Amino acid sequence: VVGRDSAQSVAYFLLSIIPIRFAVIVLFLVSCFVSIAMGTSVGTITLITPIAVAVAQSSGFPIPLCVGTVVGGAMFGDNLSMISDTTIAATRTQGCEMRDKFKVNFAIVLPAAIITIILLTVMTRGYVAALNDTYNGELIKVLPYLFVLIGAIFGVNVFLLLGGGVIFAGVVGITTGALDLFGVISAISEGMSGMFELCMISVVVGGMVELIKFNGGIDFVLNFIQSRIKNKKGAEFGIAALVSVVDLCTANNTIAIVMAGPLAKNIADEYDIDARKSASILDIFSSVWQGIIPYGAQLLTAAGLAGISPF
């Protein structure tokens, strides 16, 4: 409940102070911020898409453009967030610190985000938008996001940070009347149960990868990729291709990283690729494809909420 109200407060606050002709850009920036703070692209899409639809309906911007912008921002934030399961999986499989991976990753994806903002400005230039609704947001509900985001940037232990974030969000929720003590407990329970499926999948995937390795499958894939790699740059493209193919097959960027991670680590060691760079490549390419495929959870969720086709 606090997460939903916080996300809406961020969006409504920016919509209230920025000219409506930049509303689509606001949706992108809000999605980036919320996803970085929350560490989940699907959760961000679930929260921001209804706002994007409302903005589109009241301003005249196309719904697919607004919703696609939300998905792009959500994948950007999920890729960078230091509390995202994709970041955790990428850094653990490659053996580097999340903060170090963030610095390398940020330098790669920032130019893409700037280009996206420029493209959105050009694409929305021909629309004459007029907002028919009034948006109001409570800035106090944004504080839990800022707390987690700033703490992550300064390298606070992830368990301490998230534990403190839960307590802080609960206090804000009770203070603002968004929920009571039992609501806080219920929200925590829902958050934990939402990870059960991922934990089970990780266990199954771990066992499956080890069976594949025992039967020579990993050696075959490594030999196949390495036979086409001629240098360090080629090895980086090989890691990118590997995680991309796995994501296209599994439609889950976290699982793609978990499956491709051990192979990527072997390639990185073989060609002396910095662990931070290989972790960034895994996270970036899995997130890129996950935000494009129409059968992935992200686009299916966005399309369902907006009432449009995922294609």
Dump pLDDT digits (tens) for 10-51.
Answer: 666 666 667 777 888 988 988 888 888 777 888 888 878 888
pTM value is 0.74
C-alpha–C-alpha distance, residues 300 and 308, integer Å: 10
pLDDT at 20: 74
Kindly list the distances between the CA atom of residue 78 and the CA atoms of 88, 98, 254, 298, in Å, as whole numbers in the listed order: 11, 13, 11, 11
Dump pLDDT digits (tens) for 169-224.
Answer: 778 778 877 677 787 778 777 767 766 765 676 677 667 767 777 887 766 766 77
Dump pLDDT digits (tens) for 59-114.
Answer: 778 899 999 999 999 999 888 887 788 888 899 899 888 888 888 888 989 999 99
Burial of 196 (0-12, 13-18, 19+ CB in 10 A): exposed
pLDDT at 1: 45
- Tokens for 17, please give them: 């102070």
CB 51 within 8 A of CB 310: no
Burial of 142 (0-12, 13-18, 19+ CB in 10 A): buried
- Give residue 245's Cα distance to chain centre: 19
Long-range Cβ pairs for the range 247-251 (8 Å, 24+): 247/285, 247/286, 247/289, 247/290, 247/293, 248/289, 248/293, 251/290, 251/293, 251/295, 251/296, 251/297
Burial of 218 (0-12, 13-18, 19+ CB in 10 A): middle
Q: Interhelix angle for 217-226 vs 196-214, to 10°?
A: 80
CB 57 within 8 A of CB 272: no
Mean pLDDT, rounded, for 214-238: 79
| Residue located via tokens 């360090």 | 232
pLDDT at 139 over 80: no
C-alpha–C-alpha distance, residues 212 and 229, integer Å: 22
Kindly list the distances between the CA atom of residue 299 and the CA atoms of 18, 150, 202, 289, 291, in Å, as whole numbers in the listed order: 27, 29, 23, 11, 7
| pLDDT higher at 302 or 126 | 302
Among residues 257, 256, 260, which one has the least CA distance to residue 248?
256
